[in-house]
Amino acid sequence: MTPLRKSFQERLEELERDLNFMCNVGIETVEKTRRAFLTQDFELARQIIDGDDELDGFVIQIEEKGVEILALQAPVAIDLRRVFVMLRIATHIERVGDLCVNICKVLLSLKGARISPEVREKMSEMFKRAIEMLRRSLESFRVRDASLMEGLNKMDDKVDRINRAFLAGVNGGDREEVETTVRILMIARFVERIADHAVDIGEDVKYMITGRFVE
C-alpha cells in the first residue's frame, strides 16, 4: 500500500469512527426522548432540546472531513460511494435529532395534560420500532450487510399503521382534550418520520454495497 493510499484509508476510517459515534449519540437521543414522553419528564425534555447542538456539531465536522477526502484524494467507485453514504447518514441522524427536539417541545406544551395508558402504550411501541429500525440500518452499515435491511419496510408499515390508528381514534371533546390530541398526533408524526429516516439509511447502505439505488 502506498503512503498516499494508506493516508486515504486512515482518513476513511477516522471519518467512519466519527460517524459511528454520532450515530450512537443519535440513538441515545431517541431513547431519551421516548423516556421523556412516557414519564412526562419535562426536565429531560429540556436537556434534549439544549443538547441539540451536539449532533449539529457532529454533522458539520463529518461534512468537512468528507469534503476534504473528496477534494484531496481520488476515491475509486466503492470508496466514493462510502464517503457519499457516510455524509448522507450523518445528515439523516442530524434530522433525527431535530425530530427529537420537536417532540420534546411539543411535550413541554403538554405539561399538566393527562395522557391515557392506551396512548402511552401505542406511542411506546412506535418509539421502540423506530429505534430498532435505526439500530438495524446503522448496523448494516457497520458490518456491510445489506440483508439486515430485510423487513425494514414492514416495520415502517407497522409504525405507519399505529400512526393512522391515532388519527382514526380522534373524537370530539372539550377544548383541552382536542388540544392534547392534536399535540399527541404531532408527536406520533415526528416518530413516524424517525422511522422513515431509518428506511432511507437502509436504502443508502444498500446503494453503497451494491452500487444500485432502489427506493
Q: Is residue 84 a part of any domain in this protein? A: yes
Q: Is residue 129 a part of any domain in this protein? A: yes
Q: Is residue 77 a part of any domain in this protein? A: yes
Cell numbers at 11, concatenated: 482518513
Q: What CA–CA distance (Å, rounded) separates 85 from 204?
A: 6
Please give the backbone phi and psi of residue 60, each rounded to the nearest 5 degrees, phi first: -65, -45
Cα–Cα–Cα angle for 213, 133, 31, rounded to 5 degrees: 140
Q: Is residue 22 a part of any domain in this protein? A: yes
Find the CATH number of the domain harbouring 84: 1.20.58.220
Q: What do you get for the CA distance between the two ends of the chain, in Å? A: 36
Q: Where do the H-state alpha helices sit in 144-212?
A: 152-168, 175-210
Name residue, grid cell 463529518: 62
Q: Considering its fold, how many domains does the chain have in total?
A: 1
How do the pLDDT tens digits run along the chain, 215 residues long? 455 555 888 889 999 999 999 999 999 999 999 999 999 999 999 999 999 899 999 999 999 999 988 888 777 888 899 999 999 999 999 999 999 999 999 999 999 888 888 888 989 999 999 999 999 999 999 998 888 877 787 887 878 787 777 666 555 555 667 788 889 999 999 999 999 999 999 999 999 988 877 66
43: containing domain: 3-210
Q: Which H helix or E strand runs over 20? A: helix 3-39
| All residues at 6 or more sequence positions from 67 whose CB lies less than 8 Å from its CB, including other chains | none
Q: Is residue 215 a part of any domain in this protein? A: no
Cell numbers at 182, concatenated: 392534536
The number of residues in the chain equals 215
> How much of the chain is helix, strand and coil, in % rounded to 5?
85, 0, 15
